[in-house]
Amino acid sequence: MNIRIAHKRLIYAVTIGTALTSGVITPAISKQDAVAARRIDPAALRKVGQVDPRFLAYNVESVEVTGGNFWAPYPKPGEAPPKAMEGPHGTGFATGAYRYRKPIDLIGNKRLRMLTKELGPSYMRVSGSWANSVYFQDDDQPAREPPAGYKAVMTRAQWAGVVDFGRAVDAKILTSFATSPGARPNGVWNAEQARRLFAYTRSLGGRIDAVELTNEPNASQIQYKAEDYARDMDTLNRLVKEVSPETKVVGPGSTGEAGFKLFDKPPEAMSTARLLAGAPKPHFDAFSWHFYGSVSERCKSLGGLGGRNQEVTTSQADALTEKWLGAADQGQNFYKGVRDRFAPGAPIWISETAQAACGGDRWAATFIDTFRFIDQLGRFARNDVSIVFHNTLAASDYSLIEEDTWLPRPNYWAAVLWRRLVGDVVLDAGSGQGDLRVYSQCMRGTPGGVTLIALNLNQTNSAAIDLPMGGSRYGLTADALTAKSVKLNGRELRLSGDTLPTLGGTAFRKGSVKLMPASVTFLTVPTANNSACK
């Protein structure tokens, strides 16, 4: 239905649609209410970086592989919270923070395999706090009680599932090793468990493509001294050179710095610079760190995580603000400086990131987090990050896939579009302008082609990009910001059994391309003829 609106003696034909607010449907915006179109020439965008071909990666937590307690999903209406129990991070968290999970079925879960394969080629990180105390039981017997100094056991069959899954979905494997008292008798790391895992992986015809010594050594209960960390890293590097020289050594995997007080420890105790100051100087083929812009409400009761430092949590009202989104640059700029000092020239891997630490907030599984997810990928790609590991693939509220139904969440659909449409060469689309943020990379699989990734953060006003050539639009919207389903060009995305729907774009002509309020839009321009993309 068309409505004629007179404004300054001009008449506009406007089609009534819907605009998004936090759960409210309102009339669409007329042309005079939209911001001025931002002009971008895809052919002229210059190259400013390049990411790894497996840039968009994910975590399968070790606790999922072995079975154990991990961040419990928030209770549904009328559902009682889980009982208090110990988890990988101790007992000092909110009642109901953890839920027991059976070992994930990486072999027989056909839907999980189908969904994950759409994200390949990729990396899969099997690690997390649980991995710091997991014993590899190198025989074909059922799991026994863990030896003294360990908290869990991973069997051969469980690791074989990891290797087979990675092969099936085209994911290289990054893992870490136990550094609990059982693995560090007399405070010195024993590499025998790592040696056995390498050997068994090789016997399966598989490969461990990258390793970290341990998860978050600057924040772990070990309280590593610099000289001890240097010695243990030297042991790891020697082992890799001996048994698997093609494997990358990654680290340190630090977290909680760059102005983020996520732990109740003094800054010096958390310092990565302090950790890496020992001799021999730790060697890394890739420099890794973990980014969380806040912690979820599950961690509020842990001393400095919430009780006295409420600023480390966030609210849904912040989700579309530069204050929230820009924290990714703040963290990366800090750790890039540490990389330059201790591992100059090494690629940077963010080996964990998500909406919020401790399983994510209550809106992490909804459409509103897609803005953070895609904005983060765009920012990190532009700011010297080679690979980003989303935490997690299928566990707790921040996962890409819901762990009980194995159905895609909004971020999953955005991840698939990124994987299909966005290439490895990073282009300069300029800085953000108000509520319109635009990133650009070469178009995947189309020499000379360019993909623009546009986020309109305004919940009521449309935005526009003026392009000198046409292409295809892939616009993600939802009926509400907190919706758990998402629409592609107005059509809700859902599985048909275990089959993905067609994720096709709609054609647009040269000129002003409208971006709906509160939308994430991929614009592909295959005829851009950009010299950096050939």
The answer to whether domain 50-424 has CATH 3.40.30.10 is no
How many other C-beta atoms are found inside a 10 Å radius of the C-beta of residue 70? 26
Amino acid letter at 453?
A: I
CB 341 within 8 A of CB 11: no
pLDDT in tens, the chain (534 residues): 333 333 322 222 222 233 333 332 233 334 444 457 899 999 999 999 999 999 999 999 999 999 999 999 998 888 887 777 777 766 555 567 888 999 999 999 999 999 999 999 999 999 999 999 999 999 999 999 999 999 999 999 999 999 999 999 999 999 999 999 999 999 999 999 999 999 999 999 999 999 999 999 998 877 899 999 999 999 999 999 999 999 999 999 999 898 765 555 666 778 999 999 999 999 999 999 999 998 898 886 554 443 444 466 789 999 999 999 999 999 999 999 999 999 999 999 999 999 999 999 999 999 999 999 999 999 999 999 999 999 999 999 999 999 999 999 999 999 999 999 999 999 999 977 689 999 999 999 999 999 999 999 999 999 999 999 999 999 999 999 999 999 999 999 999 999 999 999 999 999 999 999 999 999 999 999 999 999
Query: Which residue in 53, 54, 93 sits closest to 72, CA to CA?
Result: 93
Q: Which residues of 460-492 are buried (b: 16+ CB within 10 A; e: fewer)?
A: ebbbbbebebbbbbbbbbbbbbbbebbbbbeee
Cα(143)–Cα(136) distance, integer angstroms = 10
The answer to whether domain 2-49+428-533 has CATH 2.60.40 is yes
List C-alpha distances in Å: 454 to 38, 179, 379, 425, 451: 11, 43, 12, 17, 10
Cα(61)–Cα(129) distance, integer angstroms = 8
Residue 27 in 3-state DSSP? strand
Helices then strands, counting H and E runs in the chain, come out as: 11, 28
* pLDDT at residue 150 in the model: 97
Amino acid letter at 303?
A: G
Cα(251)–Cα(233) distance, integer angstroms = 9
Cα(179)–Cα(154) distance, integer angstroms = 15
Delimit the CATH 2.60.40 region(s) of the chain: 2-49+428-533
Delimit the CATH 3.20.20.80 region(s) of the chain: 50-424
Give the end-to-end CA distance of the chain in Å, rounded to a whole number.
Answer: 44
Cα(254)–Cα(334) distance, integer angstroms = 12
Report field, pTM of the whole predicted structure over 0.75 = yes
Query: Which residue in 406, 405, 395, 401 sits closest to 99, CA to CA?
Result: 395
Query: Which residue in 441, 437, 506, 428 sits closest to 465, CA to CA?
Result: 437
Q: Could you write out the three-class secondary structure of 142-180?
A: CCCCCCCCCCEEEEHHHHHHHHHHHHHHCEEEEEECCCC
CB 154 within 8 A of CB 163: no
List C-alpha distances in Å: 428 to 294, 382, 440, 451, 532: 28, 8, 7, 12, 11
